[in-house]
Amino acid sequence: MLTLDDIRTVPLFATLDDEELAHLAHTCADLHLCAGEFAVHEGGERALYVVLAGKMEVIKTFDGVERTLGWRLPGTLFGEVPLALSSPFPGAYRAAEPSRVMRVDAQRYYQLAAASPDVALKMGALARERIGGLQGLSAEPPKIRVTMVGSRWDGTCTALRQFLARNQISYDWIAMDAPELAARWPGPIPAEEDSPALRLVDGTVLKRPATRELAELLGLQTQPRLAEYDTMIIGGGPAGLAAAVYGASEGLRTVVLEREAPGGQAGTSSRIENYLGFPNGVSGDELASRALQQARRLGAEILVTRSVARIDVDNRHVHLDGGDVIRAKTIILATGVTWRRLMIDGFDRFIGKGIYYGASRSEASATHGLHVYLIGGGNSAGQAALYFANHARMVTLVLRGDSLEKSMSRYLVEQLRGKSNVKVQLRSEVVGAYGDTHLAAIDVRDALSTEVSRHDCGGLFVFIGADAQTDWLPDGIARDARGYVLTGDDVVKAGRWTQSRDPYLLESSVPGVFACGDVRLSPVKRVASAVGEGSMAIAFAHKYLQNDAG
């Protein structure tokens, strides 16, 4: 955890008062890097980094060959060029030895520069020295599209913050009890019962808005442009976005329906290390953002905040919530899965108030200096633990098993072992949750001794697997006992195929209705396989449209 003494050693912050230093200490990430670990990759999002200890190597790849451009030692910084130009990082920064780096995100830096002109001047001078010709662009703030006031423990506020973050909408969140609230919120301060309150860039003020209302005011598409489409994709995760890209590129009139935001569960992953074509890994939201841009550029429509009320498979009518009806010649089910819920006393009361299913990157900044717990031993839990370790004082993984290696990829296990503020509690389970307005403590039971111990808890994130939520599908679409959609040979084996031809590999028991990704019955649950199935589903939809559609 960062301290005032840590930040005082940085020449750039020498003129800041203790209050501003304390604010930086509580809002900036404290990265402890092993030798060879990256602080930021080439093309990474802009931010300011300050080396507190160790040695960072500046590298860039030219024609496939990695070259070292320089070094950053304690007290020096990097990120001034991306901040000045509002551009991605032109090179990468890798720890040459065990190092400690402070990360100030772009929004926080611009706030600091606006309040402390001396910081902006120093940054501008450094940027001019390194690339020349800059005119103080580092002090120009980005356009924040939404300013939000609300309590961290308000479930509505949490949901809206996640919605904005996952839809790539820049926003500024101010806690109701923040001392700078009056300075950062123009006009009358919203009453507690009116929060979360949101102010849009055009001055519009909303009080506890519904996500669809907010989406429409922000210009996100929520209504279909056509009455009929060649293919409708239900779900905007990796499988759905891949289907959208290939469907639109093949000239099909393509629409995607997504309840919240494109990306699915993969969109909340802090880093996917084993996805083909990204040698340094890629965050889930970055992958989703790129896929979304690609799908839209090719002509696919992406509707957010919309869900399906029912499907009439006989005439291919899809009834949406709100009463809209769309006809689709083919339908691709890519709804993914939903995190399993824990049936533990006190849990339901604290959902969104300290207990979260899955992990959102937007929650990480709220864990500064806290001890947070994660339940689960899979890759999702491991990725989240690594990400939270850059913010929280301590991260504890709680799992029933006796070994991480049995359920987690080796590369993640090794990275977790290299984090001094990550610990693993084996053969244990959380059995209780306590607090008043929000989660404050949890009970953990040791399976060997049966002893129950209580621990202060600044946040609990649950990763215990997921199930298909397909009860809304019509009976004509065959599923197994756990709700996964049967396709191809599995449909035939279940005696649910009535056509003279064989079903296509990803075709459900209803001709022209396909399933891909995690919602399909399959032993493989990987981002790469979901993307592959999404593209294959379009190939089969094309075949169906050519040979079977009336």
- Residue-wise pLDDT for 404-463, tens only, equals 999 898 989 999 999 999 999 999 999 999 999 899 999 999 999 999 999 999 999 999
- Domain 228-337+468-547, classified CATH 3.50.50.60, yes or no: yes
DSSP readout, 240-299? HHHHHHHHHHTT--EEEEESS-TTTGGGG-S-BSS-TT-TT-B-HHHHHHHHHHHHHHHT
For 62, residues 6+ apart whose C-beta sits below 8 A from its C-beta are: none
Residues 152, 195: Cα–Cα separation, whole Å: 11
Q: Taking the C-alpha atoms of 209, 212, 214 and 220 in order, what is their torsion angle to the nearest 10 degrees?
A: 170
pLDDT level of residue 360 (50, 70, 90 thresholds): low
User: Chain-centre distance of CA 221, in angstroms?
Assistant: 20
Question: Distances in Å between the alpha carbon of 319 and those of 3, 307, 431?
Answer: 55, 9, 41
Identify the CATH class of 146-217.
Answer: alpha beta
Q: Is residue 71 classed as helix, strand or coil in its secondary structure?
A: strand
| Res 326 pLDDT > 50 | yes
Instruction: Provide the pLDDT for residue 423.
Output: 95
pLDDT digits 0-9 by tens, 60-111:
876 445 788 889 999 999 999 888 888 888 889 999 999 999 999 998 898 8
Q: Which residues contact 433 (CB under 8 A, 6 or more apart)?
A: 344, 345, 346, 347, 349, 350, 354, 355, 439, 441, 442, 443, 457, 460
Average pLDDT over residues 13-27: 88
Sign of the alpha-carbon dihedral angle for 144, 147, 152, 153: negative
As a whole-number percent, the residues of the chain with pLDDT over 70 amount to: 95
Tokens of 365: 């900044």
Which residues, at least 6 apart from 355, have a Cβ–Cβ distance to it below 8 Å? Answer: 347, 433, 439, 459, 460, 461, 462
**pLDDT tier, 512 (very low <50, low <70, confident <90, very high otherwise):** very high
Topology classification of domain 4-139: Jelly Rolls (2.60.120)
pLDDT > 80? residue 134: no
Nearest alpha carbon to residue 59 among 82, 92, 35: 92
Output the CA torsion 483→484→489→491 (10° steps): 30
C-alpha–C-alpha distance, residues 308 and 192, integer Å: 34
Same fold across 228-337+468-547 and 348-465: yes
pLDDT at residue 540, as a whole number: 97
pLDDT attached to residue 371: 96
Q: Write down the pTM of the prediction.
A: 0.78
Cα–Cα distance, 361 to 486 (Å, whole number): 33
- Return the domain boundaries, the chain: 4-139, 146-217, 228-337+468-547, 348-465
Query: Which value, in Å, is the radius of gyration of the alpha carbons in the chain?
Result: 25
Least confident of 127-141, 145-159, 520-534: 127-141
**CB-count burial class (<10 Å; 0-12, 13-18, 19+) for 524:** exposed
The per-residue pLDDT for 136 is 37
At 133, the pLDDT band (50, 70, 90 cuts) reads very low
Fold of 348-465: FAD/NAD(P)-binding domain (3.50.50)
Q: Are 447 and 432 in contact (CB under 8 A)?
A: no
Q: Residue 166's pLDDT is what?
A: 82
Read off the tokens for 39. Answer: 């602080």
- What residues does 130 pair with on adjacent strands? none
